Amino acid sequence: MNEDDIFAKIIRREIPADIVFQDDRVTAFRDISPQAPTHILIVPNKPIPTVNDVTEADEADLGHLFVVAATLAQREGIAENGYRLIVNTNRDGGQVVFHVHMHLLGGRPMGRMVAKPA
Ligand code: DGP
């Protein structure tokens, strides 16, 4: 685990971010490089590096990501039209920040599920 990853610092409010939700399990903040009108990252406060590192002990925290995603989708006004939730893992998944996070993307049609490599 890496207590010094960039998201851990955002969770501890050591560096600025547009935090839209925080409780004792998860923190949600707007992506610095939004790919859609709504692009929020929902992050367990525990610094789990990748989905490969998830254990049964994390089930409550990670299940809570979905509850927060549903709440934020309602709040953002995108629940009815729909949205996409993405969790990238390692190189082929396109993971850049090694602290598990769920992307909440919406506010426009999201297109094909995955892009073909160029
Ligand atoms: P991923 O490829 O799934 O690891 O996505 C990482 C996302 O994190 C990417 O969409 C950009 C976002 N991001 C990276 N650094 C920061 C930061 O310092 N602040 C915020 N708000 N978002 C960040």
Per-residue pLDDT tens over the stretch 14-28: 999 999 999 999 999
pLDDT given for residue 13 in this prediction: 97
Which value, in Å, is the radius of gyration of the alpha carbons in the chain?
14
Q: Cα–Cα distance between 49 and 97 in angstroms, integer? A: 8
pLDDT given for residue 14 in this prediction: 97
Does the CB atom of residue 6 touch ligand 1 within 6 A? yes
Q: Cα–Cα distance between 32 and 68 in angstroms, integer? A: 19
The answer for residues whose C-beta is within 8 angstroms of residue 104's C-beta and 6 or more apart is 28, 38, 39, 40, 41, 42, 69, 72, 73, 76, 83, 84, 85
Q: Which atom of ligand 1 is nearest to the CA of 86?
A: 3
Residue 91 has pLDDT above 90, yes or no: yes
Catalytic entry in 39, 64, 99, 101: 101
Q: Percentage of the chain with pLDDT > 90? A: 91
Q: Is 101 annotated in the active site?
A: yes
User: What phi, psi does 24 have (nearest 5°)?
Assistant: -75, -10
Q: Does domain 6-106 have CATH number 3.90.420.10?
A: no
Average pLDDT over residues 41-51: 98
Return the best residue to mutate from 96, 99, 103 for the ligand 1 pocket (most ligand atoms within 8 A of CB): 96
CA–centroid distance, residue 109 to ligand 1 (Å): 21
Does the CB atom of residue 98 touch ligand 1 within 6 A? no
| Residue type at 101 in one-letter notation | H
Tokens representing 15?
């560096």
Under 8 Å between Cβ of 105 and 36: yes
